Copies of this chain bind each other. A is one copy, B any other.
Amino acid sequence: MGNQYNTLLNKIHQLHDLEKAAQLLVWDREVNMPPMGAAGRTQQISTLQQMIHSMGTSDEMGALIEQAADEVQSEGHPYDSVEASLIRFVTRGYAEGKKFPAEHIARITEVSGAAMPVWAKARQENDFPSFAPYLDQVIELSQEQAEILGYEDEKYDALINQYERGVKTADVRQVFDTVKAQTVPLIQEIQEKGDVIDDTFLHQEYSVATQQKIAPYFAEAVGYDFQRGHIGTATHPFAINFSRDDARITTRWNKQFLNPFLFGTMHECGHAMYEQGTGEDLARTPLARGTSMGVHESQSRMFENLVGRSYGFWQAHYHKLKEAFPSQLGDISLDQFYKAINKVQPSFIRVEADELTYNMHIILRFELEQEMLNGKITAAQLPEAWNNKMETMLGIVPENDSNGCLQDIHWTRPSFGYFPTYALGNLYASQLLDTATQQNPAINDELANGQVTALHQWLGEHIHKSGSKYDPAELISRATGNTLDPQPFIQYTTKKFSAIYELYS
């Protein structure tokens, strides 16, 4: 490689290392830091973020990128080379970083800083009107953000592209409409069967010490590598990485409910294994990272749901759970357990939703964000709009806003466009598994025996190793030969829940 590219690469490595240090300040805050350490830590994070921002948007960086881009082009590196991909990535990132006026960023900090405590209090006291003026400001900032970022067709495109590069709102809308049209009747059909699945045994005393002892077993069962990983404890679980060889997760331990640690661990492992799988040739560059929130979520959902809630997985591993909790699960058969962890139940809270109803929570938010962004509803009109959609999609209406439109922290800051990536993840996951098993039927045989080696091989090759070289739509198309397709998810859920609920057609 030429000099210009190497000079840029050096700078990118430095910036990368500084970003990882900043991320470690965050990880440590959530996992180890004593309560009083918060004030000093906030300053440290802020200092590093300022350094990162100023390095990343400096004129020097701009010039380095331009010179290296010329060199890479003149040397004729192919489109999918690391060199060409990195230049594409940093050119776009630099331009976007320069777009936001300092004044806009300062206002975001100010508005969300003020909105957060008001929202927390409003949720606690079920007082939406006190939060409404702040939400109006968030809506306004989101509208400005869309104008700053720019868009061709719809405002919302600009926002969703921050999390899912290159995706069009119109395409997402069409796909979500299809999912909704197929899922709503399925949920209704299940509802009509009545409360036929008993999952009360999942809600009893489960020793936290035992959970912590067996969590590594289930992490390894889905393919997580502890030589390159680590489990910490945090209130809100997340995955984070400091290199492909140090991709960690956090888990929470609920002593009254078995699911959070079990499926939370497998979910976060899915995220972390994506990072563990990025190519060595991408190390210390921004390409060494999952390409989008949606594709990332496809990996977490793959291992939490498609693998972790499958019959084959528990056929192989249920004995381990029974050994750990003999008095709680000793009398529970594999079939009882499998049905309980897959129970479908329309409910108010997104983060507690089951695999089938979850997308409805997202589609609802996706629709409402657009209405707010496009000025169709104001903050004050949100509760009514929310409740109407809940009734249409899930057949239930929350008794108060705390269990309705006040439940998520997301709208205390301008993060419109983020929510849909959760549902995109579910759809990508099924689409990827569908292609993978078509290309290699051994994957299915393995999954039926609780094994994941062949699946990991396929994901590593078609998703993980390219990191952020390709935009999400491009990556999905390279991997599956198709655009985003909701049919695999629809087929998977229809088949799975028809069997569980004995929905004879």
Of residues 1 through 46 on chain A, the ones whose CB sits less than 8 Å from some CB of chain B are 13-14, 17-18, 20-22, 24-25, 27-28, 31-37, 39-41, 43-44
Does any Cβ of B come within 8 Å of A245's Cβ? yes
Of residues 183 through 238 on chain A, the ones whose CB sits less than 8 Å from some CB of chain B are 226-230, 232
Q: Evaluate contact between B242 and A39: CB separation under 8 angstroms.
A: no
Q: Evaluate contact between B22 and A44: CB separation under 8 angstroms.
A: no
User: Separation in Å of the A45 CB from the closest CB of chain B?
Assistant: 8
- Give complex CA distance A286, B4 in Å: 38
Give the contacting residue for A227; candidates B17, B32, B35, B39; CB below 8 A. B35
Does any Cβ of B come within 8 Å of A48's Cβ? yes
A48 closest partner in B (C-beta): B21
Q: Evaluate contact between A41 and B229: CB separation under 8 angstroms.
A: no
Give the contacting residue for A21; candidates B24, B36, B245; CB below 8 A. B24
A43 closest partner in B (C-beta): B17
Q: Evaluate contact between B47 and A17: CB separation under 8 angstroms.
A: yes
Q: A28-B28, A39-B245, A245-B39 are in contact. Are A20 and B33 (CB under 8 A)?
A: no
Give the contacting residue for A36; candidates B17, B32, B227; CB below 8 A. B227
Q: A43-B13, A43-B17 are in contact. Are A245 and B51 (CB under 8 A)?
A: no
User: Separation in Å of the A61 CB from the closest CB of chain B?
Assistant: 15
Q: Evaluate contact between A246 and B34: CB separation under 8 angstroms.
A: yes
Q: Tell me which residues across on chain B come within 8 A of A243, comparing CB atoms.
A: 37, 39-41
Of residues 31 through 77 on chain A, the ones whose CB sits less than 8 Å from some CB of chain B are 31-37, 39-41, 43-44, 47-48, 51
Does any Cβ of B come within 8 Å of A284's Cβ? yes
Does any Cβ of B come within 8 Å of A283's Cβ? yes
- Give complex CA distance A171, B228 in Å: 51
- Give complex CA distance A37, B40 in Å: 27
Q: Tell me which residues across on chain B come within 8 A of A47, comparing CB atoms.
A: 13-14, 17-18
A229 closest partner in B (C-beta): B34
User: Separation in Å of the A336 CB from the closest CB of chain B?
Assistant: 34
Report how many residues on chain A are interfacial, defined by Cβ distance under 8 Å: 40
- Give complex CA distance A59, B34 in Å: 37
Q: Evaluate contact between A40 and B242: CB separation under 8 angstroms.
A: yes
Output the residue of A18, A36, A228 with the most chain B CB within 10 A: A36
A19 closest partner in B (C-beta): B44
Output the residue of A21, A51, A227, A283 with the most chain B CB within 10 A: A21
Q: Evaluate contact between A36 and B284: CB separation under 8 angstroms.
A: no
A21 closest partner in B (C-beta): B21
Give the contacting residue for A24; candidates B28, B35, B232; CB below 8 A. B28
Q: Evaluate contact between B21 and A44: CB separation under 8 angstroms.
A: yes
User: Separation in Å of the A199 CB from the closest CB of chain B?
Assistant: 33
Q: Tell me which residues across on chain B come within 8 A of A230, comparing CB atoms.
A: 32-34
A27 closest partner in B (C-beta): B28
Q: Tell me which residues across on chain B come within 8 A of A14, comparing CB atoms.
A: 47, 51
User: Separation in Å of the A123 CB from the closest CB of chain B?
Assistant: 27
User: Separation in Å of the A223 CB from the closest CB of chain B?
Assistant: 15
Q: Evaluate contact between B228 and A40: CB separation under 8 angstroms.
A: no
A15 closest partner in B (C-beta): B47
Q: Tell me which residues across on chain B come within 8 A of A18, comparing CB atoms.
A: 47-48, 51
Q: Tell me which residues across on chain B come within 8 A of A246, comparing CB atoms.
A: 33-34, 36-37, 40-41
Q: Tell me which residues across on chain B come within 8 A of A34, comparing CB atoms.
A: 226-230, 245-246, 248
User: Separation in Å of the A440 CB from the closest CB of chain B?
Assistant: 28
User: Separation in Å of the A238 CB from the closest CB of chain B?
Assistant: 15
Q: Tell me which residues across on chain B come within 8 A of A227, comparing CB atoms.
A: 34-36
- Give complex CA distance A35, B243 in Å: 12
A37 closest partner in B (C-beta): B246
User: Separation in Å of the A53 CB from the closest CB of chain B?
Assistant: 13
Q: A13-B43, A17-B43 are in contact. Are A37 and B242 (CB under 8 A)?
A: yes
Q: Tell me which residues across on chain B come within 8 A of A27, comparing CB atoms.
A: 28
23 A-B residue pairings within 8 Å (CB atoms): A13-B43, A14-B47, A17-B44, A17-B47, A17-B48, A20-B40, A21-B21, A21-B24, A24-B25, A24-B28, A32-B32, A32-B248, A34-B226, A34-B246, A34-B248, A36-B246, A37-B243, A40-B242, A40-B283, A41-B242, A41-B243, A41-B246, A43-B284
- Extra contacts, 12 of them, besides A24-B28, A33-B230 (Cβ < 8 A), are A13-B43, A14-B51, A18-B48, A24-B24, A24-B25, A32-B248, A34-B226, A34-B229, A34-B245, A34-B246, A37-B228, A43-B284
- Minimum-distance CB pairs A-B, first 5: A40-B243, A37-B246, A17-B47, A36-B245, A17-B44
